[in-house]
Protein backbone atom coordinates (compact mmCIF):
# COMPACT_ATOMS: atom_id res chain seq x y z
CA UNK A 1 0.00 0.00 0.00
CA UNK A 2 1.28 3.47 -0.96
CA UNK A 3 0.78 6.33 1.49
CA UNK A 4 0.47 9.84 0.06
CA UNK A 5 2.42 12.15 2.40
CA UNK A 6 2.96 14.83 -0.22
CA UNK A 7 -0.61 15.94 -0.95
CA UNK A 8 -1.48 16.75 2.70
CA UNK A 9 1.80 18.70 3.05
CA UNK A 10 1.11 20.67 -0.13
CA UNK A 11 -2.40 21.43 1.17
CA UNK A 12 -0.94 22.61 4.52
CA UNK A 13 1.58 24.88 2.75
CA UNK A 14 -1.11 26.34 0.46
CA UNK A 15 -3.43 26.90 3.40
CA UNK A 16 -0.78 28.67 5.52
CA UNK A 17 0.41 30.80 2.59
CA UNK A 18 -3.18 31.83 1.87
CA UNK A 19 -3.68 32.78 5.53
CA UNK A 20 -0.41 34.75 5.49
CA UNK A 21 -1.50 36.63 2.37
CA UNK A 22 -4.63 37.81 4.21
CA UNK A 23 -2.79 39.03 7.30
CA UNK A 24 -2.08 42.71 7.91
CA UNK A 25 0.87 43.68 10.11
CA UNK A 26 0.86 47.22 11.49
CA UNK A 27 3.99 48.65 13.10
CA UNK A 28 3.86 51.88 15.05
CA UNK A 29 2.12 53.50 17.98
CA UNK A 30 -1.10 51.56 18.45
CA UNK A 31 -4.07 53.29 19.98
CA UNK A 32 -7.28 55.19 19.49
CA UNK A 33 -7.19 58.26 17.28
CA UNK A 34 -7.56 60.54 20.32
CA UNK A 35 -4.87 58.89 22.46
CA UNK A 36 -2.32 61.35 23.84
CA UNK A 37 0.71 59.31 22.80
CA UNK A 38 -0.60 58.83 19.27
CA UNK A 39 -1.05 62.60 18.98
CA UNK A 40 2.53 63.14 20.19
CA UNK A 41 3.84 60.56 17.72
CA UNK A 42 1.98 62.24 14.83
CA UNK A 43 3.44 65.63 15.75
CA UNK A 44 6.95 64.21 15.58
CA UNK A 45 6.32 62.05 12.52
CA UNK A 46 4.95 64.94 10.44
CA UNK A 47 6.05 68.07 12.32
CA UNK A 48 3.70 70.76 13.61
CA UNK A 49 3.36 74.39 14.48
CA UNK A 50 1.86 74.89 17.91
CA UNK A 51 0.07 78.19 18.40
CA UNK A 52 1.01 79.70 21.75
CA UNK A 53 -1.54 81.02 24.21
CA UNK A 54 -0.85 83.32 27.13
CA UNK A 55 -1.43 80.36 29.45
CA UNK A 56 1.20 78.31 27.58
CA UNK A 57 3.72 81.18 27.70
CA UNK A 58 3.14 81.57 31.46
CA UNK A 59 3.60 77.82 31.92
CA UNK A 60 6.84 77.86 29.95
CA UNK A 61 8.05 80.84 31.98
CA UNK A 62 7.20 79.05 35.24
CA UNK A 63 9.10 75.96 34.09
CA UNK A 64 12.21 78.05 33.43
CA UNK A 65 12.26 77.85 29.64
CA UNK A 66 13.12 81.52 29.43
CA UNK A 67 15.45 81.91 32.44
CA UNK A 68 18.44 82.79 30.27
CA UNK A 69 16.46 85.56 28.61
CA UNK A 70 14.93 87.35 31.62
CA UNK A 71 15.68 91.02 32.00
CA UNK A 72 14.62 91.01 35.65
CA UNK A 73 12.28 89.35 38.12
CA UNK A 74 11.37 85.73 38.69
CA UNK A 75 7.59 85.82 38.69
CA UNK A 76 5.89 82.75 37.21
CA UNK A 77 3.86 84.87 34.82
CA UNK A 78 7.05 85.98 33.04
CA UNK A 79 6.81 86.19 29.25
CA UNK A 80 10.07 87.08 27.48
CA UNK A 81 10.40 90.14 25.28
CA UNK A 82 9.93 89.55 21.56
CA UNK A 83 12.97 88.36 19.65
CA UNK A 84 14.93 87.06 22.65
CA UNK A 85 14.22 83.28 22.59
CA UNK A 86 16.04 81.04 20.14
CA UNK A 87 13.87 78.42 18.42
CA UNK A 88 10.63 80.29 19.10
CA UNK A 89 9.40 82.90 16.68
CA UNK A 90 10.07 86.53 17.54
CA UNK A 91 6.55 87.28 18.70
CA UNK A 92 6.31 84.02 20.65
CA UNK A 93 3.10 83.20 18.85
CA UNK A 94 4.08 79.67 17.92
CA UNK A 95 6.60 76.91 18.42
CA UNK A 96 7.62 74.86 15.40
CA UNK A 97 8.28 71.20 16.02
CA UNK A 98 10.22 69.86 13.03
CA UNK A 99 9.35 66.64 11.26
CA UNK A 100 11.38 63.74 12.63
CA UNK A 101 9.83 60.79 10.85
CA UNK A 102 10.67 57.52 12.52
CA UNK A 103 7.93 55.26 11.09
CA UNK A 104 7.80 56.34 7.43
CA UNK A 105 11.54 56.96 7.24
CA UNK A 106 12.43 53.60 8.79
CA UNK A 107 10.18 51.85 6.28
CA UNK A 108 11.62 53.82 3.35
CA UNK A 109 15.15 52.96 4.47
CA UNK A 110 14.45 49.33 5.42
CA UNK A 111 11.85 48.23 2.88
CA UNK A 112 14.21 45.56 1.52
CA UNK A 113 14.54 44.13 5.06
CA UNK A 114 10.77 43.67 5.24
CA UNK A 115 10.73 41.94 1.86
CA UNK A 116 13.51 39.60 3.01
CA UNK A 117 11.65 38.89 6.28
CA UNK A 118 8.56 37.95 4.28
CA UNK A 119 10.55 35.69 1.92
CA UNK A 120 12.21 34.02 4.90
CA UNK A 121 8.82 33.45 6.55
CA UNK A 122 7.55 31.73 3.40
CA UNK A 123 10.58 29.43 3.42
CA UNK A 124 9.94 28.61 7.09
CA UNK A 125 6.31 27.76 6.31
CA UNK A 126 7.47 25.36 3.61
CA UNK A 127 10.56 23.82 5.26
CA UNK A 128 9.95 24.17 9.00
CA UNK A 129 6.15 23.78 9.06
CA UNK A 130 5.56 27.25 10.49
CA UNK A 131 2.01 28.47 10.72
CA UNK A 132 0.93 31.76 9.16
CA UNK A 133 0.69 33.15 12.70
CA UNK A 134 4.31 32.21 13.47
CA UNK A 135 5.41 33.74 10.17
CA UNK A 136 3.46 36.96 10.81
CA UNK A 137 4.89 37.27 14.32
CA UNK A 138 8.40 36.85 12.93
CA UNK A 139 7.82 39.47 10.22
CA UNK A 140 6.27 41.84 12.79
CA UNK A 141 9.17 41.37 15.21
CA UNK A 142 11.72 42.09 12.46
CA UNK A 143 9.79 45.17 11.30
CA UNK A 144 9.59 46.41 14.89
CA UNK A 145 13.34 45.91 15.31
CA UNK A 146 13.91 47.87 12.10
CA UNK A 147 11.88 50.82 13.43
CA UNK A 148 13.64 50.66 16.81
CA UNK A 149 17.05 50.57 15.12
CA UNK A 150 16.16 53.61 13.04
CA UNK A 151 14.76 55.40 16.09
CA UNK A 152 18.06 54.79 17.89
CA UNK A 153 20.04 56.58 15.21
CA UNK A 154 20.64 60.31 15.47
CA UNK A 155 17.38 61.61 14.07
CA UNK A 156 17.54 64.95 12.33
CA UNK A 157 17.23 67.76 13.09
CA UNK A 158 18.86 67.73 16.54
CA UNK A 159 17.06 69.04 19.61
CA UNK A 160 16.79 72.80 19.94
CA UNK A 161 18.84 74.62 22.58
CA UNK A 162 15.75 75.13 24.74
CA UNK A 163 14.81 71.44 24.56
CA UNK A 164 18.38 70.37 25.39
CA UNK A 165 18.22 72.52 28.51
CA UNK A 166 15.42 70.37 29.93
CA UNK A 167 16.42 66.98 28.57
CA UNK A 168 18.71 64.31 29.94
CA UNK A 169 19.15 62.81 26.47
CA UNK A 170 20.92 64.27 23.45
CA UNK A 171 18.93 62.13 21.00
CA UNK A 172 15.75 63.66 19.59
CA UNK A 173 12.44 62.01 20.57
CA UNK A 174 13.97 60.11 23.47
CA UNK A 175 13.82 61.30 27.07
CA UNK A 176 11.82 58.85 29.15
CA UNK A 177 11.59 56.04 26.59
CA UNK A 178 7.80 56.23 26.62
CA UNK A 179 7.45 56.91 22.87
CA UNK A 180 10.12 54.36 21.92
CA UNK A 181 8.62 51.66 24.14
CA UNK A 182 5.15 52.33 22.74
CA UNK A 183 6.17 51.32 19.22
CA UNK A 184 4.70 47.86 18.75
CA UNK A 185 3.29 45.66 16.03
CA UNK A 186 -0.22 44.33 15.62
CA UNK A 187 -1.40 41.41 13.51
CA UNK A 188 -4.88 41.48 12.00
CA UNK A 189 -6.68 38.90 9.91
CA UNK A 190 -5.71 35.65 11.59
Task: Note whether 143 and 63 are same-domain residues.
Answer: no
Task: Note whether 68 and 20 are same-domain residues.
Answer: no
In a domain, 1, yes or no: no
In a domain, 167, yes or no: yes
Per-residue pLDDT, averaged over 134-153, amounts to: 95
Task: Note whether 63 and 153 are same-domain residues.
Answer: no
In a domain, 39, yes or no: no
pLDDT digits (tens, 9 = 90+) for 4-13: 889 999 999 9
Percentage of the chain beyond pLDDT 70 is: 82
Task: Note whether 124 and 177 are same-domain residues.
Answer: yes
Question: What is the average pLDDT value for the chain, to the nearest integer?
Answer: 84
CA nearest 37: which of 46, 28, 24?
28
Q: Residue 29: pLDDT above 50?
A: yes
Indicate the number of domains in the chain.
2
Q: What letters, b where the CB count within 10 A reaches 16 and e where it falls short, cover 140-179?
A: bebbbebbeebbeeebeeebbebeeeeeeeeebbbeeeeb
CA nearest 179: which of 56, 30, 24?
30
Task: Note whether 25 and 113 are same-domain residues.
Answer: yes
Q: Residue 74: pLDDT above 50?
A: no
- Residue 67: CB atoms within 10 Å: 12
Task: Note whether 84 and 110 are same-domain residues.
Answer: no
Domain boundary among 80, 97, 114: 97
Contacts of 31 (CB under 8 A, 6+ apart): 37, 38
* Cα 100 from Cα 84, distance rounded (Å): 26
Q: Which domain holds residue 25?
A: 6-32+100-188
Residue 77 binned pLDDT confidence (cut-offs 50, 70, 90): very low
* Cα 78 from Cα 62, distance rounded (Å): 7
Task: Note whether 129 and 175 are same-domain residues.
Answer: yes
pLDDT value, residue 75:
45
Amino acid sequence: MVTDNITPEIQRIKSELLKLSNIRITVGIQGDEDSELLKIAKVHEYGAEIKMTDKMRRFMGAKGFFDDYRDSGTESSYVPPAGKVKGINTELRSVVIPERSFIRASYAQGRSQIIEAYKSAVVHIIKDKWTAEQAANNIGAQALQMVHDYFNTKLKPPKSDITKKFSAQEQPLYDTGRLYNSITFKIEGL
